[in-house]
Structure 1
Amino acid sequence: MLPIIRIPSEAAGRSRTTVHNGFVFTVATADTYELDMTRQAREALANLDRQLAEAGTDKSRLLSATVYITDMAQKPAMNAVWLEWVDHANPPQRACIGATLEEGDMIEIVAIAATKG
């Protein structure tokens, strides 16, 4: 039997990250909601880096990311931050979807990565 490792979230009833069968499943948002899209995107991606590291992997092993943003007019700002952050040698499959998020959230990133080893 393959273990399921759940890294708890501060929010009740949620795991921040789950590791199972060589895959990491995680969701990253910004911690500070008074920020503009550029700063929320940077903070969310920094949190994604931390969550991947906590699961024993990194962005070079990212397989796919679904980016939800509240205002598609802000997609160019998010894309600029993404292009600064992404591992260009190992770019993941990525989708960007306009969505209604929790109050204050401008961006939410749902990611799947492979574990190392």
Structure 2
Amino acid sequence: MIRRFPGGHPGRSAAVVHDGRVFAVVTAPEKEPSLLAQTRGALRALDTRLEAAGSHRSLVLSATVYITDMSQKAEMNQAWLEWVDMENPPQRACLGVALEGEDLVEITVVAALREG
């Protein structure tokens, strides 16, 4: 069975659950001008989506972080290290890309569901 959680954009789900895994993509709800602020906002949004889908940051298996300016990767890393469960760190990749509008960061994750 596939469960889809409504997203804020037409044609997009906030999260999808299938076969014991949660798939989610987030951007920062508030388009602050700094990559650090947007990354923190996106990670807060990710917490909310994971919780709604029955998961948690400690259950993230892999993450791909897309940022618009690789020269600012240290800012993204700062926010990531504040957020990530250091006892259960996921696999993570970071790529420099062009994003839409005022987005400076986009994060996609695959996480396990909580047991029980």
* TM tier, smaller: over 0.9
Partner of 1:15: 13
Alignment TM-score, normalising by the size of structure 1:
0.96
Secondary structure of 1:38 counterpart: helix
CA drift of 1:103 comes to 1.2
CA drift of 1:32 comes to 1.3
Secondary structure of 2:88 counterpart: coil
- Between the aligned residues of both structures, percent identity stands at 52
Question: Aligned-pair RMSD on alpha carbons?
Answer: 0.7
Secondary structure of 1:116 counterpart: coil
Partner of 2:50: 52
Partner of 2:101: 103
Structure 1 counterpart of 2:89, from 83, 88, 91: 91
Partner of 2:34: 36
After superposition, what is the alpha-carbon deviation per residue over 1:67-92, rounded to whole angstroms, capped at 9, x for unaligned? 00000011001001101110000000
Q: Where does structure 1 lack aligned partners over 5 or more consecutive residues?
A: none
Q: Which amino acid aligns with 2:81?
A: L
CA drift of 1:10 comes to 1.5
Q: Which amino acid aligns with 1:88?
A: M
Q: In 2, Cα distance between the equivalents of 1:96 and 1:33?
A: 20
Q: Which amino acid aligns with 1:49?
A: D
CA drift of 1:33 comes to 1.3
CA drift of 1:35 comes to 3.0
Q: In 1, Cα distance between the equivalents of 2:47 and 2:33?
A: 19
After superposition, what is the alpha-carbon deviation per residue over 1:32-70, rounded to whole angstroms, capped at 9, x for unaligned? 113311110100000000000000110010000000000
Alignment TM-score, normalising by the size of structure 2:
0.97
Q: In 1, Cα distance between the equivalents of 2:42 and 2:8?
A: 16
Q: In 2, Cα distance between the equivalents of 1:79 and 1:30?
A: 16
Structure 1 counterpart of 2:66, from 68, 79, 82: 68
Q: In 1, Cα distance between the equivalents of 2:85 and 2:113?
A: 16
